[in-house]
Structures are given as structure tokens and as C-alpha cells.
Copies of this chain bind each other. A is one copy, B any other.
Amino acid sequence: MNFCSDNTTGAAPEIMAALAEANAGQTMPYGEDALTKRLTARFGEVFETDVAVFPVTTGTAANALSLALMAPPFGVVFCHREAHIAVNECGAPEFYTGGAKLKLLDGSDGKIEAETLAAALAGAGAGDVHHVQPAALSLSQQTEAGTVYGTDEVGALCEVAHGHGLGVHMDGARFANAVAHLGCAPAEVTWRAGVDVLAFGATKNGALAAEAVVVFKPELARDLGYRRKRAGHLLSKMRFVSAQLEAYLAAGLWLKNATHANRLAATLARGLAAVPGAEVIHPVHGNEVFVRLPEPVIAGLLADGFAFYRRGGENATTLRLVTAFNTRAEDVRAIVDAARRHGRSAAQ
């Protein structure tokens, strides 16, 4: 059983069915098909406002394209020190923006605080020709620590950002998990709180390869079509990406899947917390559990065939375990039971 990431899973049956259905007949390519066209309206309903929607196949593309709409080559994007865009995208933001800088901010539990952002902006050299210029704030929702920003927290951050003329990007690779946790309307934690562009993820939560750049400010979307094409992210048979997104949004699949994953992560966290010597190190809001375990427990779990990532290198004892839309309750039970067993052995 593999708890390394939610992208170790395949796709949800509803998504596979949508693909099969989309395969019938001929359509115009490059998003000029009816399915893609109606997707914009569908997203508009979900977000209760007019949006521009640009489907792509990876979260890295969605993030980097979003940032390129807001940050000029001499711009700065403020983000958390552990942000995916900073750590795990091999410089995609720099590539797509033409060389903008990321300014890394500290913050506990994966979150930036509004005060931290304000302080960073105060010292950022805005208007000084020797300094790169503040351009955007990037928030991950859910964060890289598995936590979720409250709508008020997003609002406070956006207020600081907009007060300094910055655009706001939300990396929503696990946006569904965040919304499922908050139980709020998607609009509440995005544009109503001040988010300008959302990289809306579906892949980790049941799609094969489907993300969308959702733009809440029409003027920001003007160049996006050219930038997407130029980056090689305009698929000729776009209907196959759009079909995934449509099915994902239909009948609440996206929230159903995320709720399932979140619930099992909570179960997992509770279970592991009871292991002697264990410490859950971040609040578990979504589908990720960060837990410190005694090395003998880790060794035992690995020997049992469980898979997960160590956080911070080969011998680190902090683990990240991720649940997915199709993680089974018995698998969570199995790893918890095994951990407890190894914990008791170690304690003796």
C-alpha cells in the first residue's frame, strides 16, 4: 500500500467513463469543441461569477502560466519557503515569467501570515530601479504542510497584497481538499477573498491529467491563450482534458472524492498519534498527514511493504502520508495497526 502521494492512484471511474464518452465522433481541435466551450459556463456556476478557464494537463503548467500573467520578468512572487512552485517545479515560474524571482517567506504549518507578507513588502524596494519589483503573492491551498487557510486568512493576505499592487495566485493542486475541509462556497475562499487566478487541480483527486487556470479578472486572461499555446499546453484533442474536468465538477464528484480522502487522513492521523513516540506535527486539515515516528516503527512499516516519503532526506523520521479519493479504510487500518505493533515492540 502506497501512501507516497495522491498521484500514485489511477483515475476515478466517473472520469474514465467521461473519456470514453468524449471519444465519440469528430470535433474541432484545440478547444474549439462544444465540451470545452461549455466548461467555462460550468466553472462560472461553481464559482458564482464569470471566469476565464484554460485547461492544461499539469499543475506546474497551471501555476507557471498563472504567475506569468501577473509577474513581469523583473517581478517578484512572494510565496512560502516550502511552496511547490519554489521547491518542486524545477524553476517553472522563472521560465514562464522570463526570469522573475521568488521571495521565500517563513511561516509555521505551511502558512504565510499577513504580517510576514507586509514586512517583506515594506523592505522589498518597490519603485527602486535596483530591485526586482513586487508583483504577485502565491498561496497554496491546501498548503504543503497539509493545512488549509481559512477564508479570513486568505482575505487578510490578499488585502495586504492588493494594497501593494500585487496580484494573487492560488496553487490549488489540492483545492478540492481545502474546500471540503472548509465547507465553504468555492467563491468564498477565492475571488471573494481576493484571489485573482486559481490553478485548479483535478489530477490528484481523481483525474488522469487535468488542471485548469481559472481567471477571475478578465483583463488578466487576455494573453493567456498565446502563452499556453507557446508553452505547448494547448492540446489538439482538448476535449479529452475538458471531459475530465466536466466529470470532475459534475454531481459534486470533486468534493465527494476530497471529503473521502480528508476523512481517511483524519483517521490515519488519529491512529498514528496513538503510536508510542509518535507526533503529528501539523494540523491535519486535508489529505496529508505529517508525523514523526520512531525509526524502528518506520523500519517496520517499510519491511511490511508500506510506502511513503520521508521529509527531509533519507534518514529523516518525519513522514508524509497522503490519502486519495480511492484510499480504502482497510488500508488505513492496516498501516495504523502495523505502526502500533511496531511501536509496542520498540517500546519493550
Contact = CB atoms under 8 A, between A and B. Distances in A.
Interface string A210-247: 00000000000001011111111111110111000000
A94 interface: yes
Given A19-B16, A73-B91, A313-B123, A236 B204 contact: yes
A61 B232 contact: yes
A203 interface: yes
Given A8-B28, A90-B130, A129-B30, A232 B230 contact: no
A92 B229 contact: yes
Nearest to A3: B26
A81 to B, nearest CB: 11
A107 interface: no
Q: How many copies does the complex hold?
A: 4
A57 interface: yes
Contacts of A303: none
A340 interface: no
Given A8-B28, A225-B129, A231-B232, A98 B123 contact: no
A9 interface: yes
A120 B209 CA distance: 34
A89 interface: yes
A30 B309 CA distance: 15
A90 B226 contact: yes
Nearest to A56: B232
A79 B43 CA distance: 41
Nearest to A326: B26
A23 B10 contact: yes
A151 interface: no
B223 A237 contact: no
Contacts of A95: 73, 98-99, 230-231
Interface string A34-64: 0000000000000000000000111111111
A203 B232 CA distance: 14
A139 B16 CA distance: 37
A131 interface: yes
26 contacts: A1-B26, A7-B236, A8-B26, A10-B24, A10-B237, A11-B23, A23-B208, A56-B232, A57-B57, A58-B235, A58-B236, A59-B232, A60-B232, A61-B231, A63-B232, A73-B95, A74-B91, A90-B130, A90-B226, A92-B232, A95-B230, A129-B225, A129-B234, A208-B237, A231-B232, A232-B233
Closest 3 CB pairs of A and B: A61-B232, A94-B99, A10-B23
